[in-house]
Each structure stands twice: as C-alpha cells, then as structure tokens.
Amino acid sequence: MKRRLVAAAAFFSVYFFWGSTYLATERAVREIPPMLMLAFRFLLAGIVLYVGCRAARIPSPTARQWFSGAVQGFLLVFGGNAGVTWAVQHLPTGTAALLIATEPVWLVLMLWLLGHSRRPSLRTAGGLVVGVGGIVALSGDVVRGPQGALQLVAAAMVLLTAISWSLGSALGVRLETPRSPFMASAVAMLSGGLVCGVAGLALGEPARLELGRIGWQSIGAVAYLAVTASILGLSAYLWLLLRYPAPIVATYAFVNPLVALGLGAALNSEPITPVTVVASALIIVSVILLNEPRVQPAAEAQPDASGESRQTVFARAS
C-alpha cells in the first residue's frame, strides 16, 4: 500500500510538475528577463543536486565528464529551454507545450541520422507523419491569431528548442557522463545555467532587470521551477525508471501537454480552439506511436569503460 502511494506521488510529480512548467515559466518571465531567469533556475537546482550528490559520497565528475556535461548543458538546458522561455511571452503556454511534445519526432530522426538506431519502422514512420500533421495544424491556428507573424516566430523558436533537446539527447548516447544520473543532471544544469547567464549578459538583460519591481509571483515561479520541476520531478522520474517499464514512465510525454492546456485555460484564460483539440490529438497519437523501446526518449542504458551499464537521462527532466 505504501509503495502504491509513493508510486502515485511519483507519477503525479512527472505528470503535473512537468506539465505546469510552461505556465510557471510564463509567470516568471513577466518580471525577470528570460535568460537570467533560466540562469537562476538551473544554477540553483544544479547546486542543490551537486551538493546532495557529494554529501551522498558520489564521486566528483572527471574533466571529460565535465566537458560532456557542458555539451549537454548547452543543447539540453540552454538550447532546450531558451526558445520556449522567450516564446511563452508571445504564445499560449498550452500551444508551446504541444510543440515541445513533438520532441520524440525529432529524436527518432536524430538517432537515425546519427546512426544510433535502425531505419524507422512502419509504425515509427506513421508516428512521424502524424506528428508533422499536428505541427502543421497547430501552426495554421497560430498564424490566424491576433499577432500571427510574431506568434509564428515564437512557434518556430519552440520547435528549435525541441530540436536542440533531441540533438542533445541523441548525442548523449555516446558522451561520457557521470554514472550517477543525479550527478549527470547536476553537471548539465550547472553548465547550462552558466551558458544562460552568459547569454543574458550578452543580450543586456541586467540593464532590464529591475529588482524593486520583481514581485513574489515571479520569485515563487522561479523557486517552483527549480525545486518541483528540476529536483522533485527528476527524482520521481528516476525512481519510477528503476521500478516500472520505461514505456509506462514515458507516458509523461503525452500527459504533460494536456496538463499545460488545462492550466493555461483555467489560470491564463487561454482559448482552446477546435484546431488545438485536433492538433493535440495528432501530436499525442504521434508520441504513442513513437513510444518504442529502441527510440523512446526516456532513458537508455549504455556501457561504461568498466563494462557496467549506466543511465543517461533523456527525459525533459528539467
């Protein structure tokens, strides 16, 4: 009974916490510039995870692992979040979540193009076609919005975010990362957080940061993203991977957009149009079709130099 309650809490964490990140991000960037917000969020989460790992006597990363972490931090943390963080200022959070849900489509293509998987099967090809159909339908709905051109650019930025995340995940199959997935995540968050900070400085965001005007809502949103999405959500995800089949755990990929759509409609008054419903159905069906063990983005075991297997986290755990 106790384990069932823990499992229910863990699934709730990856379903709700990760699904709510889009609305929380939109609230955070109302008063904090996007890149600096990401830097605060990931540096805070990365420091907490790193200190926790060292307290648990998990070995410090080697220089090569730090380099790998920097690559993943750039592609997963910076590239996989910067675009959507900017885009939610101009795009409904539910729409952004649906576009991010196409990550399995891009991941399948990346794994195939990089030679990490066989040619897509008929089922996978069907999933790709259906997923692209959902993107086209959603893009058409965006163009008809009140700020069509700007929202289309924002949608393109979200798709670039999804592609960057997928590329980082595909490359992660061959990168030498720490054996502990918690330490690997900490390294990626710290590296990516620094890149976000540098990007913020380059874009002149400190000049636009008015500390006196930052309300508790934005501060609370950043804390929520760092603690619940990055730390609690990640911990729950890794716990589930050790106890349940990966395809079951990967169901977060098509539950998160539904949570985001619901929260956006309820708390942000975001409209859910018939086209949005159709696009949602197409993208979710695509994710289901693509949810095969050999291409799923949840996690993949890979051998290290000692012949033991270690886990590389591919989920949108941050």
pLDDT confidence of residue 24:
96
Assigned domain for 77 exists: yes
Cα 270–273–151 angle (5° rounding)? 60
pLDDT in tens, 180-219: 889 989 999 999 999 999 999 999 999 999 888 899 999 9
Domain with 229 in it:
2-313
Q: Report d(CA 58, CA 249) in Å as an integer.
A: 25
Question: Which pLDDT does position 299 carry in this prediction?
Answer: 41
Give me the helix-helix angle, 252-268 and 93-100, nearest 10°: 170
- The answer to whether position 55 is within a domain reads yes
Quick one: pLDDT at residue 297? Answer: 41
Q: Which residue has the tokens 């795009």?
A: 91
Residue 203 in any domain: the answer is yes
Tell whether 108 is covered by a domain: yes
pLDDT value of position 303: 39
Q: Is the dihedral of CA 26, 52, 13, 247 positive or negative?
A: positive
pLDDT of residue 120: 76
In a domain, 184, yes or no: yes
Residues of the chain with pLDDT under 70: 142-148, 246-247, 291-318
For the chain, what is the domain count?
1
| Nearest alpha-carbon partner for 187 in 302, 111, 76 | 76
Has residue 318 been placed in a domain?
no
Confidence (pLDDT) at 144: 67
Give the bridge partners for 312, in sequence order. 300
The reported pLDDT for the residue numbered 221 is: 96
Q: What is the pLDDT of residue 179?
A: 87
CB 109 within 8 A of CB 128: yes
pLDDT of residue 109: 84
> 124 lies in a domain?
yes
Name the burial class of residue 174, with classes exposed (0-12), middle (13-18) and buried (19+) by CB atoms within 10 angstroms of its CB.
Answer: exposed
Counts of helices then strands in the chain (DSSP H, E): 17, 2
- Residue 190 maps to a domain: yes
Q: What is the pLDDT of residues 244-257, one digit of tens each?
A: 876 678 778 778 88
